Structure 1
Amino acid sequence: MGAYVPAGSRNKNRLYRTIGISTILITTLYCLLNGTSILSGQSTSLNSNKISRGTSFDFSPYINENDNSENYKFVRINENLNPNNKPYEKKVKATFVTLARNSDLHGLLEPIKAIEDRFNKNFHYDWVFLNDVEFDEDFKRITSSLISGNTKYGVIPKEHWSVPSWIDEEKATNARKKMEEDGVIYGGSLPYRHMCRFESGFFYRHPLLDEYEYYWRIEPDVKFHCDINYDIFQFMKDNNKKYGFTISIHEYEATIKTLWNTTLEFIDKNPEFLAKDNMLDFISDDDGTSYNNCHFWSNFEIASLDLWRGEAYSKYFDYLDKKGGFFYERWGDAPVHSIAAALFLNRDEIHHFYDVGYYHGPFHACPVDDQIRFENRCACSPNQDFTWQGFSCTTKYYNVNRLQKPHGWQKYAN
């Protein structure tokens, strides 16, 4: 049905149409002379500096084994990955994953908005939310209104969020009491242990993840400081990267007293799972005799789901789970994932996203390279960056892999 127009307005409408047609003709002539699209307002000139969506980037540092200087080359576009600079025909099967409660809603609004504004508005990847109870309608309605991809909401099976039958509950309760008395962070928390066990061995088994190849873990109350102007999932796939991180750190030894010896037992029984070019030298300073507690902080994690679905990790997790360390100690998903990635992957399958500005209290990852920071509109100070600090393990990661560090990194190290 057409809009109702009062009779007295018709002459004015004719005048407005005349003015509008004249404006369009003038604008079109201007665009033709200046090489601009009338629809998008963007330059159509062949000399445009705009980078099209779908362009592949190689964000690996330039490696020169004979160069011991701190020179650093940032390779903008790897033409070998996408020689014709064409948009990708098919988006990677990937999703964001968030473990949350209904009460986490307002802590998620800022991270979701940041990810959408700085990355996902260009790619529209899905988002999977998991909870040990049903999400309420407010959570679903508000989160789905912010996300450009599909949103999915799942309930965790009870057996994935409970104490398994083989655990001595009295022993586990006493262990929690002792750790709480000793002041170990989350030492007395049973829900925290459920979370660590779920993230270690079950999130990727949820049916809502079945259709995906890659995931990006997002938690409440985190921040993203910089624009991400390339498809991170496509980067992972094109470069055969299986695990990506921003922050690495040392674990609290009191929480994982027997984790390494349990790992050695598993490897002794299953030596075939060790990758040929594994990264043992990142997680051990003495060729595997002991664990140096270095791990990737898994609150930010971009990885291949096939890494966890594979035989090596599946058997490793089951072995750890039967030993009971998630309950008798406080084994975290971060050291469990990190040890597995370091041992079961080749070192070139692990990637540090040094261009992604990120915050999870109390640590920031802020690119120290001025060019990266300015081009990606980073809203952070490199003086806050944790990457090169003493308690971080990222310097070791660069050293064992013989990767050159960003220019001027020493300025922010201590």
Structure 2
Amino acid sequence: MASITLNRKRILIAVLCLIAVLYWITVVFSDLRQLGFIRVQSFNAEVDEKTPAFVAPRPIGEGTANATLLFLARNSDLGGVLSSMGHLEEHFNKRAGYPWVFLNEEEFTEEFKTRVTAATAAPVSFGLIPHEHWFQPDWVDEDRASEGRRKMASQGIIYAGSVPYRNMCRFNSGFFFHHPLLQPYRYYWRVEPDIKYFCDVTYDPFDYLRDNNKIYGFTISFYEWEKTIPTLWETVKKFIAEHPQYVSDENAMNYLSDNGGERYNLCHFWSNFEIADMDFWRGEAYQAFFKYLDDTGGFYYERWGDAPVHSIAVSLFAPKDRLHFFRDIGYRHEPFQHCPNGEDWARGKCACNSFDTLDYAPQSCIRRYEKLFLQ
């Protein structure tokens, strides 16, 4: 009996030692990785996009692109707005000096404007969204819309019963770039309350898009909830059939579909972060596309989000090489984040754990995006 007890103790000690060794290896590997001594490649190094070479940050007020930082917010969002501004000012805009544009379906309060203006040395503008661009149109069948909301609520879908959320999705899909305050600008960086940036942005992303002929940049890509968009893809297919001239020969259909467009695989770019070219949204193809979608009432009868709408449009109506994964910009919008690794992590002095990233998790679509450049 004493021999059996002794053997058990030895086994327990051995197991504990093995756990300690594995923990030590994990910690050391993480430290070396974050310091840049170990670079963890994506699933295929051949498709890694080259990040821009290091460029010394410009002094404030010397950003060269025709661009703005765009914030859709309500007065009640003030705390989250100031937090997000603090992150982006610290990591980028205090050196670049790009102007901020704030939009709201109601007038901003004096407190909101005073505190936001004090949070940056850059110019700030505050705009009211036109009624017809925000609220549910009169031609929408409210009985049908309310039944759609009730059905989604019974399925436990987030924002299922919210009309304001649908207003926001429709506005972000088809109207924000028409606002008078945005007419002077071509490029925008979308910012939302309570988001976080982890890394110093050591170059100008607007310049990068302009100089490399890109129209859309993202940091996170994953699957949409199919129950929110049950008829969206069939509507897209009808539009394509009626307007084949808008589909680019070098499109990214293989990011959206695994069978040549028969079915939508639900991949999309998470649009709460996007750095993009408004000339694309203002162009003929997208204008026709949005009107076609809007005329169906799907933003209200279902819960079509601006993320799949934007993603489908840029993937179909532009060549795939005009899209860009900003893999070096660390970003978090609860509950997901993208954290760079290796040289990108070190150069940006990132304050995030590069293991804590959605990039190659099962629900991520980054691998599908990267495969586009192997085809």
Which TM-score tier does this pair reach, normalised by the shorter chain? 0.7 to 0.9
* 1:300–1:221 CA distance, 2 compared to 1 (3 A): same
Alpha-carbon deviation of 1:399? 1.4
Matched-pair contact (CA < 8 Å) for 2:253–2:315:
yes
2:300 aligned partner: 327
Matched-pair contact (CA < 8 Å) for 1:277–1:346:
yes
Matched-pair contact (CA < 8 Å) for 1:116–1:148:
no
TM-score (norm 2): 0.85
Instruction: Output the CA distance in 2 between the equivalents of 1:98 and 1:121.
Output: 17
Matches within 5 A, 1:126-205: 126-205=99-178
1:409 aligned partner: none
The one-letter code of the counterpart of 1:199 is: N
Instruction: Output the CA distance in 1 between the equivalents of 2:141 and 2:365.
Output: 35
The one-letter code of the counterpart of 1:402 is: L
Matches within 5 A, 1:58-97: 77=53, 91-97=64-70
Alpha-carbon deviation of 1:181? 1.2
1:262 aligned partner: 235
Instruction: Output the CA distance in 1 between the equivalents of 2:51 and 2:184.
Output: 33
Instruction: Output the CA distance in 1 between the equivalents of 2:211 and 2:95.
Output: 19
2:329 aligned partner: 356
1:395 aligns with 2:367: yes
2:3 aligned partner: none
* 1:169–1:399 CA distance, 2 compared to 1 (3 A): same
* 1:174–1:372 CA distance, 2 compared to 1 (3 A): same
Alpha-carbon deviation of 1:120? 0.7
Matched-pair contact (CA < 8 Å) for 2:100–2:123:
yes
Gaps of 5+ in 2: 1-40
2:348 aligned partner: 376
Note the alpha carbon deviations across 1:202-258, whole angstroms, 9 max, x for none: 111100000001000000010000000111101110000100000001000000000
Instruction: Output the CA distance in 2 between the equivalents of 1:194 and 1:334.
Output: 14
Note the alpha carbon deviations across 1:118-137, whole angstroms, 9 max, x for none: 10111100111000000001
Residue among 236, 257, 276 paired with 1:284: 257
1:301 aligns with 2:277: no
Larger Rg over CA atoms: 1
Q: How many residues align?
A: 333
Alpha-carbon deviation of 1:90? 7.2
1:347 aligned partner: 320
1:117 aligns with 2:93: no
Matched-pair contact (CA < 8 Å) for 1:368–1:385:
no
Note the alpha carbon deviations across 1:75-108, whole angstroms, 9 max, x for none: 6639xxx9xxx99987111001111000001011
* 1:75–1:379 CA distance, 2 compared to 1 (3 A): closer
SS at match of 1:107: helix
Alpha-carbon deviation of 1:384? 1.0
* 1:303–1:72 CA distance, 2 compared to 1 (3 A): closer
1:105 aligns with 2:105: no
Matched-pair contact (CA < 8 Å) for 2:63–2:98:
no
Matched-pair contact (CA < 8 Å) for 1:120–1:148:
no
1:275 aligned partner: 248
1:44 aligned partner: none
Matched-pair contact (CA < 8 Å) for 1:255–1:330:
yes
2:25 aligned partner: none
1:338 aligned partner: 311
The one-letter code of the counterpart of 1:210 is: Q
Matched-pair contact (CA < 8 Å) for 2:177–2:278:
yes
2:179 aligned partner: 206
SS at match of 2:118: helix
1:252 aligned partner: 225
Alpha-carbon deviation of 1:71? 9.8
Task: Using the aligned pairs only, state the percent identity.
Answer: 49
SS at match of 2:275: strand
Matched-pair contact (CA < 8 Å) for 2:251–2:317:
yes
Note the alpha carbon deviations across 1:315-347, whole angstroms, 9 max, x for none: 100010000100000000000000000001101
The one-letter code of the counterpart of 1:394 is: I
Alpha-carbon deviation of 1:165? 2.4
Note the alpha carbon deviations across 1:109-153, whole angstroms, 9 max, x for none: 121011111101111001110000000011111111112221010
- Larger relative helix fraction: 2
Instruction: Output the CA distance in 2 between the equivalents of 1:89 and 1:391.
Output: 39
The one-letter code of the counterpart of 1:304 is: D
* 1:288–1:361 CA distance, 2 compared to 1 (3 A): same
1:385 aligns with 2:361: no
* 1:397–1:71 CA distance, 2 compared to 1 (3 A): closer
Note the alpha carbon deviations across 1:262-313, whole angstroms, 9 max, x for none: 0111111111000120000000000000100000000001000001000000
Matched-pair contact (CA < 8 Å) for 2:47–2:374:
no
* 1:71–1:325 CA distance, 2 compared to 1 (3 A): closer
TM-score (norm 1): 0.77
Instruction: Output the CA distance in 2 between the equivalents of 1:108 and 1:124.
Output: 18
SS at match of 2:355: helix
Using CA pairs under 8 Å that are at least 6 residues apart, name the structure with larger relative contact order, 1 or 2. Answer: 2
Alpha-carbon deviation of 1:402? 2.5
Instruction: Output the CA distance in 1 between the equivalents of 2:51 and 2:258.
Output: 31
Instruction: Output the CA distance in 2 between the equivalents of 1:166 and 1:322.
Output: 9
Gaps of 5+ in 1: 1-61, 63-67, 404-414
Alpha-carbon deviation of 1:400? 1.9
2:199 aligned partner: 226
Matched-pair contact (CA < 8 Å) for 1:125–1:148:
no
The one-letter code of the counterpart of 2:208 is: F
SS at match of 1:383: coil
The one-letter code of the counterpart of 2:308 is: P
Instruction: Output the CA distance in 1 between the equivalents of 2:221 and 2:47.
Output: 23
SS at match of 1:187: coil
